[in-house]
Structure 1
Amino acid sequence: MTIKDIAKESGYAVGTVSRVLNNHPDVSEKARQRILAVVAKNGYTQNPNAKNLKQSVNHSILVLVKGARNELFAALVEQLQGLVNKGPYSLLVDYFDEDTDEVLRAAALCAEKKPQGILFLGGNADNFKRSFGRITLPAVLVTSPAEGLDYPNLSSVTTDDFAASVQAVQVLLKQGHQHIAIIGGRPSFSDVSGKRFAGGRAAFAQSGLPAENLVEYGEARFCYEEGYQAMRHVLAEHPEITAAYAIADVVAIGAMRAAQDAGRKVGRDLSIIGFDGLALGEYLTPRLATIGQSVERLAQEATNTLLNAIENDAPARRVTVPFTVINGESVGPAPRR
């Protein structure tokens, strides 16, 4: 199969196909997904050249980052770089939007780059169920659960997002808050988002408070800007809210700014707790309350698991990294009405 064949089958021009294969940003997501699907379906591989030959002997590891503005993933990549560079391997890091099918992207990049293994930072189980069967390399799904994904070459390293989210909402409930919002993430694109919403929802249900007292807003990517917009929307539509669980620290930080701009003092008029334990949260005013997960431990477990599979043909494993509740000034008692 040639680039012209891919263009014909996908319905896009040769130039567009070439830009997708070379990972250029100036391509619509619809075109990229269609072309990558055709590439994966036909097992297309570009003609090897000196660059690709060099990459193949460098024992590269492909890291697919689902969410270009996710600060936790940026910290994870930094840790992974340090760990992997201690050996003969090098990282090939690919960033893309949360809407992208990470498995189709992996299949296309594997055909081109010939890595030894794959680290998926974030993922959606439906994408894996549809397409992961065509990938034969050892792979590790990091921060996302691999429940129901019984592939012999797919491991996972994650935190118990459900249990951690139960505790996050319980922190707010123990402070007397009765009108709570859960904001951030998009459960339809992210299994992590779904687990965190479900955990927060379960904690609220156990409280015995009326179901209508819980507001859910799951239309925000993991970034400051969309956290800001989510909190702004919730406060405009539900001014009775006195506390929010933001399912990622970047969402929480954006939400804190929105609350301040709306005239709500964080920690007094509106309490906010996040998830991830980013270092930045320690230096905010007020200091951010959050669920901490160890980036160092996640990176170490993921690296060890993948290298053991590559070098020793070790079987797939499931690793759960513990979390901690980090108290902060962003959470306080419910204000008196």
Structure 2
Amino acid sequence: MTTIKDIARLSGYSIGTVSRVINQHSDVSPEARKKIEKIIAQENFQPNSNAKLLKQQIKTSVIILVKGQMNIFLEVILEEVQKILNESGEATSVTFLDEAANEVETAVHQCAERKPRGIIFLGGNINYFKKSFDQIDVPSVLVTVPASGLPFENLSSYATDDIAASAAAVEYLVRMGHKNIGIIGGSASLQRGQIGYRRLHGAINQLKKFNIPFDINKQYEPGRFSIASGYESTLSLLKRNKKITALYCISDIIAIGAMRAVKDLNMNVPDDISIIGYDGIEYTRYSVPRLATIQQDTSGLARKSVEDLLMRINYQNRTANHEMIPFRVLTGESIKKK
């Protein structure tokens, strides 16, 4: 890990000068400041309270708001985020919210009460950000939902391209010979959740590109991001549409419930129904059969989000960033060629 001594050595300036740059002191020449800040950026240096050479305590923790109380995928990211923040000397405070809750409203209340250094939103609804995020002035990061279209200078975002990833999932099913494809999970309403909406319509648009008809009333069943909802939604869809040969479940936990539903309908995966999920959680490597899925880069999402937040906490002149993190298709064993 890069230290303040390394920055001093690489820049050719003393530790004291580097410290004054880090702490935004005015008694540093423009030339020295420019060179030190360039080295800091190149080395991706993240100072904690000790590295800043300040003998003050952290005002309070970094707040982490998790959207969904049963979302295994977000819990994986949470674990990695907390680990990186802890290694950087930052305390964290975690709040789990229902997936229908207003995370920005919660953040506004916590900012008033706790005066956090920064906020990480794991999941979110863009409509809530549009309405209320202007009340938040601390550095923040929205993870798994892109926010590049929002006008907030203190909000970065790191996400997977849900539309492209859903298109890849459906394309794989089509190339395996499936045309009667059902979709499970999320909502057809943009107001109720952007992630589910984007994944649903990314899949539908891809089917259109293949000139494969899709009747949303007969081939889609909405649902929450939970195993139980995946189970119930799959039962409902397969009972009313017996022509379906493959399912795209918009999350792995939904797919796990779907696999059990197929079994309880006296069918088998993949012989009768092929299934592909989305997220790439660890459990899918051990399911029987091994679930095909879209694997998101949880490590990349966590690392980039925390690095971005710490950089903007410690350097006030840093601008927000928005980035899509690559995904990949894991073919698994849950899809049978037609």
* TM-score interval, smaller chain: 0.7 to 0.9
User: 2:298 maps to what in 1?
Assistant: 295
Partner Cα separation in structure 1 for residue 256 and residue 329 of structure 2:
17
Paired residues of 2:76 and 2:298 also in contact (CA < 8 A) = yes
Paired residues of 1:301 and 1:319 also in contact (CA < 8 A) = no
Shift of 1:181: 0.9
Partner Cα separation in structure 1 for residue 59 and residue 152 of structure 2:
27
Residue identity opposite 1:331 in structure 2:
I
User: 1:26 maps to what in 2?
Assistant: none
Find out whether 1:232 has 2:243 as its counterpart.
no
Aligned to 2:88, what secondary structure does the other structure show?
A: coil
Partner Cα separation in structure 1 for residue 214 and residue 84 of structure 2:
46
Find out whether 1:222 has 2:225 as its counterpart.
yes
Shift of 1:66: 0.6
User: 1:330 maps to what in 2?
Assistant: 334
User: 2:322 maps to what in 1?
Assistant: 318
Shift of 1:242: 0.7
Could you report, residue by residue, the CA deviation over 1:21-44 in whole angstroms, capped at 9, with x for unpaired residues?
xxxxxxxxxxxxxxxxxxxxxxxx
Paired residues of 2:65 and 2:122 also in contact (CA < 8 A) = yes
Shift of 1:209: 2.0
Find out whether 1:132 has 2:133 as its counterpart.
yes
Partner Cα separation in structure 1 for residue 58 and residue 306 of structure 2:
19
Could you report, residue by residue, the CA deviation over 1:114-172 in whole angstroms, capped at 9, with x for unpaired residues?
21000001111111111011110111000011142120001000011110000100111
Partner Cα separation in structure 2 for residue 133 and residue 70 of structure 1:
27
Aligned to 1:269, what secondary structure does the other structure show?
A: coil
User: 1:266 maps to what in 2?
Assistant: 269
Shift of 1:58: 5.4
Paired residues of 1:185 and 1:247 also in contact (CA < 8 A) = yes
1:276 to 271, 275, 279: 279
Aligned to 1:211, what secondary structure does the other structure show?
A: coil
Partner Cα separation in structure 1 for residue 215 and residue 231 of structure 2:
23
Find out whether 1:111 has 2:115 as its counterpart.
no
Paired residues of 2:59 and 2:117 also in contact (CA < 8 A) = no
Paired residues of 2:64 and 2:122 also in contact (CA < 8 A) = yes
User: 2:5 maps to what in 1?
Assistant: none
Paired residues of 2:145 and 2:158 also in contact (CA < 8 A) = yes
Could you report, residue by residue, the CA deviation over 1:225-250 in whole angstroms, capped at 9, with x for unpaired residues?
10101101101111111101001000
Shift of 1:256: 0.5
Residue identity opposite 2:330 in structure 1:
I
Output aligned runs, 1:170-209, within 5 Å. 170-186=171-187, 187=189, 188-209=191-212
Paired residues of 2:60 and 2:114 also in contact (CA < 8 A) = no
Residue identity opposite 2:296 in structure 1:
Q
Residue identity opposite 2:135 in structure 1:
R
Partner Cα separation in structure 2 for residue 324 and residue 189 of structure 1:
27
Output aligned runs, 1:20-59, within 5 Å. 57=58, 59=60
User: 1:83 maps to what in 2?
Assistant: 84
Residue identity opposite 1:245 in structure 2:
Y
Partner Cα separation in structure 2 for residue 210 and residue 160 of structure 1:
24
Paired residues of 1:58 and 1:89 also in contact (CA < 8 A) = no
Residues matched between the structures, number: 278
Find out whether 1:212 has 2:210 as its counterpart.
no
Residue identity opposite 1:308 in structure 2:
M
Shift of 1:189: 2.5
Partner Cα separation in structure 2 for residue 211 and residue 72 of structure 1:
28
Shift of 1:212: 3.0
Partner Cα separation in structure 1 for residue 87 and residue 212 of structure 2:
52
Larger radius of gyration: 2
Could you report, residue by residue, the CA deviation over 1:237-290 in whole angstroms, capped at 9, with x for unpaired residues?
111111010010000010010011111111110000000001100001100000
Residue identity opposite 2:147 in structure 1:
A
- TM-score w.r.t. the length of structure 2 is 0.80
Shift of 1:204: 0.8
Paired residues of 1:157 and 1:318 also in contact (CA < 8 A) = yes
Paired residues of 1:98 and 1:189 also in contact (CA < 8 A) = no
Partner Cα separation in structure 2 for residue 209 and residue 296 of structure 1:
36
Aligned to 1:265, what secondary structure does the other structure show?
A: coil
Paired residues of 1:157 and 1:302 also in contact (CA < 8 A) = yes
Identity of aligned residues (%): 40
User: 2:98 maps to what in 1?
Assistant: 97
